[in-house]
Each structure stands twice: as C-alpha cells, then as structure tokens.
C-alpha cells in the first residue's frame, strides 16, 4: 500500500497492477493491456491537470471515452480501457483511497457481437487430415488439429497440455482454462489414434536430448510448442490446399457449432468449452440458426 499513499494516478495504477498480478491470476497479455491502458489515461489526464486519483470524476471519464471515440478506437478497445479504469478505481475505493468509484456508471459504446467464423464439417475434417503421417512434424500437426477440433480447446489450453493431462483409457483430457479452472473433456477416436502415434513415435524424435518436462506438444527445437507455431502450421496447410485462411479459434467455434447442429444440449457445450456464462455459449445457437436459414432458403419451394 505504501506505493499508493501519495494518491497519484501513476502510483495507484502501479500498485493496482501489482495486486492484480498477485491476486487475480490475470494472464500476462491482460496485464500488459491494462498497463498500457492506464498509462494512456494517466498521460491524458495530466494534460487536464488531473494527476491524483481522488480528482478523477465522472465528467473526466466521460471526456476520456469521448476522446477515444474521436480517435476512432474500436468499440471493443474502448470497452477494455474503461474496464481497466473501472477495476483500478474499484480497487482504490476498497482501500479508502477514494470515496466512491466514479467509473461505476460511465457508459461505453455497445459492443458488436459478430457471429463466429466456422468451417463446414467437411472442411474441418479435410483440414485435420492434411498433415502427412510419415514424419514427426506431420504426426504432431495431425494430433494437434484433431485435438483442437475434436475437443474444442483454446490454443493456449492446448499448448499448456502435459502428458499427465491425457488419459487414454478414459479418452479424456484435463484442460486448464481461464482463471486456472480445470475441466475434463472427451477426445475423439481419431484424436486418440493420432495422439498414440505422436507420443510413441514423433514426440521422442522431436524431443531429442532436451529436457522438456511433461510438455505434450513440442516444436522443432524440442521445446513446448506455442500458439504462434500452431497458427503458422494451420496457415501452411490451408495455403498449400488453396483454402481460405482459418485460425485455431475457428476450429473451436466449429466444434461448438457442429455439436449444436447435431442436437447437443447448450449447457453441455458450455461445460465442454469452459465458458463461465451460458450467454457466452448462446452465440453458437445464432450460428446454427443461420445455417438452418441457408438450408431452408436453398431447399424449400416457398422460401
């Protein structure tokens, strides 16, 4: 607390970020974004001669939101910056640095919720079958794509998998999601087959003499694979086929949409995806409805 006692916005922001890193288990990317957002506000507020946290009021915050809009920041970016300020000021209020949180009722532009991009079932199946099975990298890539599409993992969740997270007998994975929350997800038959081949043959070849700990998926240098490498391998295979670009998250979207298309219960899909709120999962019902509309318009004589 000592670092925040002088009440300067910069000191309070720094103390808040240290506390958030220690207490809220935020990802490094989220912390970096918060740090950048608060630094921008601190610099902007100083131009209005506001340098102390107890001098921040609703009018100043509304002017900041308007400033961001005039600079044509995306709505989602403005919402994130407002969230960073709201969180910092709530933290300051809880520690009696300010009397109340002036950001509690500051409105930000409503977010557009574009429908997630999904692949057709045939396209997803064709993609996961593209990697060759006659070399270690191809075997690894096949296993990665089968798990992404077959279990609906976030790319970060897949990269964090260890060998001990895989239960071949039960056909499940222990996945550590956002907030370090764990969930058990099933694996598909093709994914289990690809994993067996990868673990028995390709992983030892990629590992070489390196000590990789328990990491399940390895890169060419024998280290735990990262999200950038997985995005790159998808780009490589799709470009070679002349297919439209797709991301690992598109496979996650496809996983959820194809489950709902097949009659899966929405709450079951929520559990499989690791969504905290059912409303987050409900966007996939809109995707399924759009698919039904296309089928209807193409098939019904009165459409």
Task: Provide φ and ψ at 192, rounded to 5°.
Answer: -65, -40
Active-site annotation holder among 95, 183, 224, 249: 249
Q: Is 249 a catalytic residue?
A: yes
Distance of CA 11 to the CA centre of its chain: 30
Q: Is 178 a catalytic residue?
A: yes
Q: How far apart are the C-alpha atoms of 55 and 59, rounded to whole Å?
A: 11
Q: Residue 112 gets which letter from DSSP?
A: P
Active-site annotation holder among 81, 140, 252, 253: 252
User: How many C-alpha atoms does 187 have within 13 Å on its Cβ side?
Assistant: 26
Q: Are 9 and 45 in contact (CB under 8 A)?
A: yes
Q: Is 34 a catalytic residue?
A: no
Q: Is 55 a catalytic residue?
A: no
Active-site annotation holder among 178, 183, 193, 231: 178
State both tokens at 96.
């009696």
Q: Is 275 a catalytic residue?
A: yes
Neighbours of 172 (CB within 10 A): 16
Pairing of strands 172-176, 166-167: antiparallel
Angle at the Cα of 264 from the Cα atoms of 262 and 266, rounded to 5 degrees: 135
Q: Is 252 a catalytic residue?
A: yes
CA distances from 220 to 129, 165, 223 (A): 20, 22, 7
Q: Are 136 and 201 in contact (CB under 8 A)?
A: yes
User: How many C-alpha atoms does 77 have within 13 Å on its Cβ side?
Assistant: 12
Coil, strand or helix: which one is 172? strand
Active-site annotation holder among 154, 192, 203, 253: 154
Catalytic residues: 154, 178, 249, 252, 275, 284
């Amino acid at each position: 607390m000592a670092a925040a006692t002088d009440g300067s916005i910069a000191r309070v922001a720094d103390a808040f970020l240290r506390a958030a890193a220690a207490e809220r288990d935020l990802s490094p990317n989220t912390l970096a974004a918060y740090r950048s957002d608060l630094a921008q506000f601190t610099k902007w507020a100083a131009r209005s001669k506001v340098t102390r946290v107890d001098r921040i009021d609703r009018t100043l915050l509304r002017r900041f939101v308007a400033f961001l809009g005039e600079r044509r920041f995306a709505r989602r970016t403005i919402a994130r910056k407002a969230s960073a300020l709201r969180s910092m000021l709530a933290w300051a209020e809880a520690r009696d640095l300010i009397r109340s949180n002036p950001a509690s009722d500051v409105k930000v532009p409503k977010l557009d919720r574009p429908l997630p991009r999904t692949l057709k079932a045939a396209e997803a199946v064709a993609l996961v079958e593209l990697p060759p099975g006659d070399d270690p990298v191809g075997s690894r890539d096949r296993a990665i794509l089968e798990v992404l599409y077959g279990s609906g993992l976030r790319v970060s969740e897949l990269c964090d998998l260890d060998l001990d997270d895989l239960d071949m007998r039960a056909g499940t994975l222990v996945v550590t999601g956002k907030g370090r929350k764990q969930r058990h997800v099933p694996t598909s038959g093709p994914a289990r087959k690809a994993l067996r081949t990868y673990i028995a043959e390709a992983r030892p070849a990629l590992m070489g003499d390196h000590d990789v700990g328990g990491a399940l998926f390895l890169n060419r240098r024998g280290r735990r694979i990262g999200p950038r490498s997985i995005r790159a391998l998808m780009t490589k295979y799709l470009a070679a086929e002349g297919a439209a670009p797709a991301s690992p998250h598109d496979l996650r979207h496809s996983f959820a949409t194809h489950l709902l298309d097949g009659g899966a219960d929405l709450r079951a899909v929520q559990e499989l995806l690791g969504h905290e709120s059912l409303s987050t999962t409900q966007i996939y019902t809109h995707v399924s409805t759009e698919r039904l509309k296309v089928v209807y318009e193409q098939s019904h004589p009165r459409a």
